[in-house]
Structure 1
Amino acid sequence: MTSVTSVTPTAPSDAAGQTRDILDPATAAVIATVPEHTAADVDAAVARARAAFESGPWPQMVRSQRAKLLLRVADAIEDNSERLFRLETRNNGRPITETRAQLSRVPEWFRYNAGLLAAQRNAVLPGDGPYLIYQRRRPLGVCGIITPFNHPMLILARSLSAALANGNTVVVKPSELTPLTTLALADILADTGVPDGVVNVVTGAREAGVALTEHPDVAKITLTGGTEAGRSASVATAARFARMTAELGGKTPVVVFDDVDPTVAAEGAAFSAFIAAGQSCVAGSRFLVQRGVYAEFVDALAARAATIRVGDPALPETQMGPVISARQRDKITALIRTGVDEGARLAAGGTTPDLPPELRDGFFVAPTVFADATMDMTVAREEIFGPVAVVIPFDGEADAVAMANDNLYGLGAGVWTTDVGRAHRVADDIIAGMVWINDHHRLEPSLPWGGVKESGTGKDAGTESFDDFSWVKTVVVRTAATPVDWYGTSPDTRLN
């Protein structure tokens, strides 16, 4: 077991010795201990970030210098990649092949936002008369970033790189379950030359998160998490007119039409459902399949689920690891029982996988497929956040779109079809922030990430995110040689 400390100053909870054990979800063994920070610790971290913003070099740094430093950060992350892959796999249980694939892309976000910073232009606006009108962008100040357990480093990098590129200082509150790569990244940032106080990490649970969202000196909150947490944070930020970006829950529909090979679609569907053990807000969880290929699709998806190798996430042959905690495992298994009780047919899974003795205390759930479900069933409506796919038949295109939109969420969606016109029509009609056609869960630094309805507000990544970490000042310059004399004989009516 290792002991990990945060980069915030010594605070009351540190002195009192309040700590939290961090578990390996594959074995339930304690792998680290971190401080359990309180509201007082958050206040100290925000004060430190505010001091760095108001009197430190970061916001005043020449843009090219700040961009260059972010590029060095990207290089440093690559240099430490193997250590980060293994640390995140041990902390959140994702197979090392998944973690390596995901974290290898983290440097791209720092390079992308460094590029946006270097290429940023200030607009010159049109206006009548002898005036030059232009805009300047200024950093917001202290920004709070609250990250989840499922993709801790990637989701942090999306917001952190944009916040830093714009000259803000940051307080990060990672999930209380998965703080380890966040703490490691903070060390990398410090070693690379990011000035003291610019990036601060507080570890802890609800008290720390609430204190950060409610803090009067935090100008923006970016939160990825559950819908209820996002709702509370939105109320807190709105009360002081702070900015808020929230990526929240999802119940992603994946629509499969009968013009596709059902086996090919099922293999793609398996990726969307079972990647990260289904612990993704855009995980394919509702498979709406046209009746002509329904039976074949169910058989193919169930067969694929049954062959997924569940086990030690540190082994390269493992295809699915545990879920994050005993609480999450128990929630998932309870929902599986509800699905059976409500009449859905278990086509695959629904049990605890067969595991070697050293993993039997871990938090594993077998890849599960429900068939013959209906839209009113709990498993078809609630976000399960686990490796559970629910397959529901539909008849025509209008039926599919109506079923896809019949949900509180609107984060992501998938469409499988070989009909080009249909692909675009359905993608246009589905109410979701992101739609993939004949694929799933693909992302780029330039791709704005975020949903509608109860899936949140605002965008993470892309120019939309970059721009939202600054505010716009408009400057109007009179260039005429004659003075302004409103109360004279020739008033300028354009001033009215």
Structure 2
Amino acid sequence: MTDTTTDLTTSDVAPTSSVATREILDPSTGEVIDVVAEHGAADVDEAVRIARTALESGPWPAMPRSERARLLLRIADAIESASEELFQLETRNNGRPVTETRAQLSRVPEWFRYNAGLLAAQRDAVLPSDGPYLTYQRRTPLGVCGIITPFNHPMLILARSLSAALANGNTVVVKPSEMTPLTTLALARIIKDAGLPNGVVTVVTGGREAGARLTQHPDVAKITLTGGTEAGRSAAVATASRFARVTAELGGKTPIIVFEDVDPVVAAEGAAFAAFVAAGQSCVAGSRFLVHRSIYDQFVTALSARARAIRLGDPADPRTQMGPLISDRQREKVRHLIDTGVVEGAKLSAGGRIPDLPAPLSGGFFLEPTVLADATIDMTVSQEEIFGPVAVVIPFDDEHDAISMANDNRYGLGAGVWTRDIARGHRVADRIVAGMVWVNDHHRLEPSLPWGGVKESGAGKDAGAESFDDFSWIKTIVVRISDDHVDWYGGHDNLRLN
């Protein structure tokens, strides 16, 4: 076990006030694997001070774009070189099977390369202006930015925002989930070794107190938060009070519509990936499967069989297909929702139990992949985010019925449509109220694709040019290029006001 309590920043100056520590658990065994500092409000203040000093006095914001872009490319190469260590570390910290973490984290360098490319290709706009004027725009760093990341995809979600923030010349304070800080701390060391100036990125490891202070800090110009809806609501209120920017990617209750023209077995295979990857701990996890009544029974049978066949076990074993939930508390929340679904009339078609695994996995937070069939749209399990390996299956009769049920929810992050009718695929995708819709697939992403939802799933976009642009502010400069002068009160004709 490595004590990381003092190795917290890319600066030589560490936050000063904390004496408390937090044990980090391996969710597959329940065993302590590390100890980190439990930072509080005073530590966040110190981290923001470090970041502000680097912004105002350091070389980073004023560095030529080409140099910043080259450094981002070096960071991408360094992450790639350390990839095996990062795969294993994240698997151990959050319990995802190593096959999943390898597939996901191997793409992290792409975000740094993509934003380096946007930076290298960035042009300042020259705007049309009547009269003898040259009008142009300059993009300027926002300042100190705060990034708050969740436990489920700690490094990928950090990379999406961090790469865009750094490309624009900002300095950053990162607060990872208190349960999964290890790959964030590893990344901080990697980017320091790659040559990022001191103080440009600072990591604070703490819980709610640290997160609340970061969102409320008067010197933080933007918050990017991925987490629960209530946390996002609090961050939005805190940033609004000082007119700071906020991007919030929050909860979800992803509907997936399965039409009668698809093979129900093929659709069930796609449904299993949507529902059970990351043990269902994803904001866009497929959680409401709306299936045409004519293939409903076949789909439920196929999905239940697939769920029962998923191999649970040691996340470090490449043969393992699903790992544990992040904590016993989360597992108990999911079990309670499953029980609620059954009480309200849903049928437990697969799973729902704690598996019998040998030691040391018996101390982990595993739960069987679960299928709740014969649900209705008004059930608790059909409306509330479960954040666990639970697929809720609901029959529908026609396209209008399916779209109505898909939109009958307070969330609007992701959605899916399975159909062989391409016109219907486009038509239905257009009518679903969600920030992202996949047709005949699920959870596919690229650095160029804006990521974010509507309704209570959040505001703003992560990734894509939209995210890149939101980490800067635009200054418009108007230059009079005529050699005469304006005398408004001298009686001249044809003067223009505004």
Secondary structure (helix, strand or coil) at the match of 1:71 reads helix
Pairing 1:318-357 to 2, within 5 Å after superposition: 318-357=320-359
Q: Distance in 2 between matches of 1:318 and 1:122?
A: 50
TM-score by length of 2: 0.98
Q: 1:283-321, CA deviations, whole angstroms, 9 ceiling, x for partnerless residues?
A: 000000000110000000000000000111000000000
**Residues 13, 36 of structure 1: 8 Å contact kept:** no
Pairing 1:395-406 to 2, within 5 Å after superposition: 395-406=397-408
Is the counterpart of residue 311 in structure 1 residue 313 in structure 2?
yes
Give 2:483's aligned residue: 481
Q: Distance in 2 between matches of 1:316 and 1:166?
A: 38
Secondary structure (helix, strand or coil) at the match of 1:301 reads helix
Q: 1:432-481, CA deviations, whole angstroms, 9 ceiling, x for partnerless residues?
A: 00000000000000000000000000000000000000000000111112
Give 2:8's aligned residue: 7
Pairing 1:376-395 to 2, within 5 Å after superposition: 376-395=378-397
Task: Name the CA shift for 1:492/1:200 in 2 (closer, same or farther; >3 Å).
Answer: farther
Give 1:93's aligned residue: 95
Counterpart AA for 1:401:
I
Counterpart AA for 2:325:
V
Q: 1:98-126, CA deviations, whole angstroms, 9 ceiling, x for partnerless residues?
A: 00000000000000000000000011111
Match of residue 229, structure 1, among 225, 228, 231 = 231
Counterpart AA for 2:42:
A
Pairing 1:225-374 to 2, within 5 Å after superposition: 225-374=227-376
Match of residue 429, structure 2, among 427, 430, 434 = 427
Counterpart AA for 1:81:
S
Q: Runs of 5+ in structure 2 lacking a partner?
A: none
Q: Distance in 1 between matches of 2:96 and 2:295?
A: 32
**Residues 274, 367 of structure 1: 8 Å contact kept:** yes
Give 1:179's aligned residue: 181
**Residues 110, 447 of structure 2: 8 Å contact kept:** yes
Farther off after superposition, 335-344 or 425-434: 335-344
Task: Give the Å deviation of 1:217.
Answer: 0.1
**Residues 88, 98 of structure 2: 8 Å contact kept:** yes
Is the counterpart of residue 437 in structure 1 residue 432 in structure 2?
no
Q: Distance in 1 between matches of 2:493 and 2:452?
A: 49
Give 1:41's aligned residue: 43
Q: Distance in 1 between matches of 2:455 and 2:235?
A: 16
Give 1:407's aligned residue: 409
**Residues 269, 284 of structure 1: 8 Å contact kept:** yes
Task: Give the Å deviation of 1:35.
Answer: 0.3
Q: Distance in 2 between matches of 1:272 and 1:10?
A: 41
**Residues 287, 389 of structure 1: 8 Å contact kept:** yes
Give 2:22's aligned residue: 20
Secondary structure (helix, strand or coil) at the match of 2:462 reads coil
Secondary structure (helix, strand or coil) at the match of 2:385 reads coil
Secondary structure (helix, strand or coil) at the match of 2:193 reads helix
Match of residue 149, structure 2, among 147, 153, 157 = 147
Moved over 4 A (4+): none
Counterpart AA for 2:98:
I
Q: Distance in 1 between matches of 2:234 and 2:276?
A: 30
Task: Give the Å deviation of 1:489.
Answer: 2.0
Q: 1:368-394, CA deviations, whole angstroms, 9 ceiling, x for partnerless residues?
A: 000000011111110000000000000
Farther off after superposition, 284-293 or 353-362: 353-362
**Residues 4, 32 of structure 1: 8 Å contact kept:** yes
Farther off after superposition, 168-177 or 330-339: 330-339
**Residues 28, 365 of structure 2: 8 Å contact kept:** yes
Q: Distance in 1 between matches of 2:167 and 2:271?
A: 37
TM-score by length of 1: 0.99
Counterpart AA for 1:139:
P
Q: Distance in 2 between matches of 1:171 and 1:10?
A: 12
Task: Give the Å deviation of 1:11.
Answer: 3.7
Counterpart AA for 1:260:
V
Q: Distance in 2 between matches of 1:104 and 1:450?
A: 22
Q: 1:357-410, CA deviations, whole angstroms, 9 ceiling, x for partnerless residues?
A: 211110001000000000111111100000000000000001100000000000
Q: Distance in 1 between matches of 2:223 and 2:242?
A: 12
**Residues 15, 44 of structure 2: 8 Å contact kept:** no
Counterpart AA for 1:194:
L
Pairing 1:436-475 to 2, within 5 Å after superposition: 436-475=438-477
Give 1:164's aligned residue: 166
Task: Give the Å deviation of 1:493.
Answer: 3.5
Q: Distance in 2 between matches of 1:362 and 1:258?
A: 40
**Residues 159, 465 of structure 1: 8 Å contact kept:** yes
Q: Distance in 2 between matches of 1:86 and 1:202?
A: 22
Q: Distance in 2 between matches of 1:418 and 1:11?
A: 56
Counterpart AA for 2:4:
V
**Residues 73, 110 of structure 1: 8 Å contact kept:** yes
**Residues 15, 47 of structure 2: 8 Å contact kept:** no
Give 2:110's aligned residue: 108
RMSD: 0.8
Q: Distance in 2 between matches of 1:198 and 1:226?
A: 27
Counterpart AA for 1:369:
V
Task: Give the Å deviation of 1:355.
Answer: 1.0
Give 2:191's aligned residue: 189
Q: Distance in 2 between matches of 1:11 and 1:344?
A: 51
**Residues 486, 492 of structure 1: 8 Å contact kept:** no
Secondary structure (helix, strand or coil) at the match of 1:172 reads strand
Q: Distance in 2 between matches of 1:66 and 1:387?
A: 41
**Residues 251, 409 of structure 1: 8 Å contact kept:** yes
**Residues 13, 35 of structure 1: 8 Å contact kept:** no
Task: Give the Å deviation of 1:491.
Answer: 5.0
Q: Distance in 2 between matches of 1:491 and 1:309?
A: 83
Q: Distance in 2 between matches of 1:434 and 1:191?
A: 36
**Residues 261, 421 of structure 2: 8 Å contact kept:** yes
**Residues 485, 491 of structure 1: 8 Å contact kept:** no
Task: Give the Å deviation of 1:354.
Answer: 2.4
Q: Distance in 2 between matches of 1:336 and 1:241?
A: 41
Give 2:70's aligned residue: 68
Secondary structure (helix, strand or coil) at the match of 2:489 reads coil
Counterpart AA for 1:185:
L
Q: Kindly tell me the number of residue pairs found equivalent between the two proteins.
A: 494
Q: Distance in 2 between matches of 1:10 and 1:389?
A: 44
**Residues 253, 284 of structure 2: 8 Å contact kept:** yes
Secondary structure (helix, strand or coil) at the match of 1:74 reads helix
Task: Name the CA shift for 1:369/1:31 in 2 (closer, same or farther; >3 Å).
Answer: same
